Amino acid sequence: MTVALLVAAVTAALVCARTLRLGARRRLDGRRSGGGGSAVLAALPEFLVASVLATVVGVQLGWLPALGWYGPQWTVLPALALGLPAGAVLGRLLDDLLPGAFGEPWALATAAQGLPARRIARRAVRRCVPALLPNAGLFVVGLTGGAVAVEQIFDIPGLGRTTLRAALAQDLPVLQAGTLVLVLLAAVAAGTCRLAARLLAGPALRDGVLPALHRPVPPARRFQPLGYGGALLAVVAFGLPRDPLALNTGERLLPPSPAHPFGTDALGRDLLARVGHGALDTLLLALAISAVALCVGVLLGLAPRLSGPLADTVNAVPPVLGALLVTAAVGGGAATPAIAVTAVAWTPLAAHTSALLIQERATLHFAATRGFGASRWYLLRRELLPAVLPPVTRHALLRLPGIALALASLGFLGLGAQPPSPEWGLLLAENRPYAERAPWAVLAPAAVLALLGALAVTAAGGVRWPGRRRGPGRRPGDRGPEAASARPSPLAGELVEAR
């Protein structure tokens, strides 16, 4: 996990490299730099990255050992499997904050003074990190949950695999010890991140003199989500007319062909049919869980004193461990993954909402609005929600493929749907033993999962608050992101003049 955190930091830096370079040179047009590559990485689950790395790099190429735990070189592939997806998500979140930081007065002043672009970029990162740290703390515990599947794949005798085996064997003392370690880890990570956020923000957070960090985003590149969505729809449309349960042992592990575009599995079943039929249940369930998580996360995030301890406690339970607890309480079944993922999916959104709320309440325009006697409802509707909802909604869309893949990972570990269901995680679990002989059996569902992630991440770029103009597309008379809403109100004229 320590090496995986370093990998995540390097990955996040690479995702934001273009935004940092252009923003420091005052050439940023507001668009996010993270493209399809970071979108795909952000969508890939740890068990899928681990399976691909073990198959391609460890087995087929033989560059690094794929199994065991005997020295530093055995650390590389597991750390990449854990760190690449986490770093891509952190990079996308940081990339969402950087344009607002580069548009603040201090950035304009330092650029006019001729300071080096590298120093401006470092200060912009420091300005954005406090709003990002609560989610970084969640990733520490998230890595532990991902380590369960990664340790299972790479045959590593770690805490995750030990806890999983203890739960399956009903070894309660070991399971309780593993859960206690996760709770302590979550408490330490949350406390450290909150302390670091306050130290980085400095007295400006206390005195209420921070500028607004979030700014309207320009139009997203529409052809990207349309292309990804069309490709995913085509896979589902061509797969639904086929029978996902038809067996033909004479066509076992056939490569892709016109008759079987994705090939066949070990029982001769058409992989395109199984992927297409599995998409309906997985996508609909993931959308429902994402909507519930967004609503609960925003509502609880608006009350950080109430939700903070609750989020820290729930965050200590990764989806895998939650599924184990649900299985022990109500038994296994198709509903087990949904209950477990729903119970923990709201925590990163609540943490993100609370962090943005704290920063927005410390801004100058919020203090001016409150000084004019605005009511709490007015402050919530006109000041806080427009600054909080768009980035949190984009974060929820960024989490959508992660939720779908958390469901898949639970199926991969045998805690969800059971054969012969065409659920995506179960497809990967069934075909992974044949990855060396028939790599298409693993790569086909993996490609569809990555396609879902790219669609969600690119579509998130167009989320904005209704009625607010985008940055480059504003009229010359507009005052930018802190201008009052176009709808008339008793305080609108006074507030605009005060700002």
Residue 314 tokens read as 């729930």
Give the dihedral sign, CA 23/29/32/37.
negative
Report how far residue 450's alpha carbon sits from residue 43's, in angstroms, rounded to the nearest whole number. 6
Tens-place pLDDT, residues 313-358 = 676 566 666 666 676 666 666 677 778 788 878 887 887 788 788 7
Residue 276 tokens read as 């297409």
Tens-place pLDDT, residues 408-423 = 667 666 666 677 778 7
Residue type, 203: P
Alpha helices for 346-439 (secondary structure H): 347-361, 364-371, 376-379, 385-412, 424-431
- Angle of CA points 64, 65, 67, to nearest 5°: 150
Tens-place pLDDT, residues 42-72 = 666 677 788 778 877 887 788 888 888 888 8
With bands split at pLDDT 50, 70 and 90, how would you rate the model's confidence at 219? very low
Q: Give the pTM.
A: 0.65
Q: Which residue has the tokens 């940092």?
A: 20
Task: DSSP for 294-335, please give it.
Answer: HHHHHHHHTSHHHHHHHHHHHHTS-HHHHHHHHHHHH--STH
Eight-state DSSP code of residue 383: I
Report how far residue 375's alpha carbon sits from residue 474's, in angstroms, rounded to the nearest whole number. 28
Report how far residue 120's alpha carbon sits from residue 105's, in angstroms, rounded to the nearest whole number. 12
Percentage of the residues of the chain whose pLDDT score is greater than 90: 2
* Domain segments of the chain as ranges: 2-466
Tens-place pLDDT, residues 271-281 = 999 988 888 77
Number of H helices, E strands in the chain: 22, 0
Q: Which residue has the tokens 């070894």?
A: 171
